[in-house]
Amino acid sequence: MTVKLISRDQVQFIKRLLAITILIASTLFLAFTVYTNWKELRGYQWEFNYSYLLLAAFALLIAFFSNVLGWGLIVEHLGGPSDFAKNAEIYCIAAHGKRLPGSFWYVAGRAYLYEKEAVPAAIILQGSLWEITFQLLSGLIIYGMFLPLYREIRYASFNHYLLLITIPLLLLILSPSIFRMLLRHLSRGQREIKISQVHWHNKALWLFIYLLGWLAGGGILYFLTGSVSSISLDFLPACWGFVALSGVVSTLAFFLPGGIGVREISLSLLLSSYVPLSVAIMLALLFRVWTLVGETILLAAFWSVSKSRFESRLTRKDY
């Protein structure tokens, strides 16, 4: 009896089909819920406060630059450029790859851009693995830290506790031997990759930076909510934890472009413990649009700076 293996093209087709199915299903779920609860949504006490929008913009800047700083420190430690501006420039340009399904394009875009700086692709692969590990670990820590302060979660609360079990698993990745095994698995078919040593004080610093990024992300949701309705300070821990957890879930849904759909649904279900589900969906969509527009503006700003810098190199004459 012969077993027919699935080809790589078939695997990619299955991933695309799964991504399209989830995107359509999540869109229909969100639209149907808003439609069936339209009266409740219109009757909600909406109060617009534009000062909170400024705070949401400030929180977005902190979250964005935390992620940029985290990546810059990681790649610098592994042997990449020490120039913060250069690392930030490449991070922002490659971030467009997140809009495509799968993590391949994101990492491949980084590897291509760093190749121009004579940085081996192995360093970028290691750095990207460290980045996603600390993003997941810090997100789960944030969610677990504020767990006693949440209201009772209405949907699949037991599963949320199960997610915390993955924290010890992520801590295992911080072990050099486990990290080496995982990296060899991800880079199979390539030459032997030299593993760069990372000390625990570096790992602690990276973890702190990504923790700060998740807290700033929760601040975005809190201030956006305050810009359209009245809120209390008790809602802030929920914003911190729910944004972190929904971000972890969307990161795990790597086959979707930017985790779209999965993040909105998970965040909506979590927020429904505090506001009606239809309102929670609108807040989740507002959070998505705000971060997407804000990141696009920041990416465009970095792109214009890098483009002008590149053009200045071409027109500069050396004597």
pLDDT tens digit string along 29-52?
Answer: 667 666 666 666 666 667 788 899
Mean pLDDT of 108-116: 82
Statement: the pTM of the whole predicted model exceeds 0.85:
no
Range with lowest mean pLDDT among 49-53, 75-79, 127-131, 251-255: 251-255
CA diameter of the chain: 73
Question: What contacts 232, CB < 8 A, 6 or more positions away?
Answer: none
Both tokens of 193, joined, read 């990759």
Residue 100 zone, left/alpha/beta (φ > 0; ψ -120 to 50; rest): beta
User: What local confidence, expressed as pLDDT, does residue 151 receive?
Assistant: 74
| Residue type (1 letter), 298 | L
Yes or no: say if 243 and 259 are a contact pair by the CB < 8 Å rule.
Answer: no
Rounded distance between C-alpha atoms, residue 51 and residue 307, angstroms: 34
Using one digit for the tens of pLDDT, what is the confidence trace for 72-104?
999 999 988 888 888 888 888 787 666 655 556
Query: What does the DSSP 8-state code read for residue 150?
Result: S
User: What local confidence, expressed as pLDDT, does residue 41 receive?
Assistant: 63
Both tokens of 195, joined, read 């593993």
* pLDDT interval class at 114 (50, 70, 90): confident
In the predicted structure, residue 5 carries a pLDDT above the cut 60: no
Percent of the chain with pLDDT over 90: 25
Which range of 2-6, 95-99, 150-154, 273-277 scores highest in mean pLDDT? It is: 273-277
User: Quick one: which H or E segment has residue 63?
Assistant: helix 50-77
Yes or no: say if 145 and 236 are a contact pair by the CB < 8 Å rule.
Answer: no
Yes or no: say if 218 and 239 are a contact pair by the CB < 8 Å rule.
Answer: yes
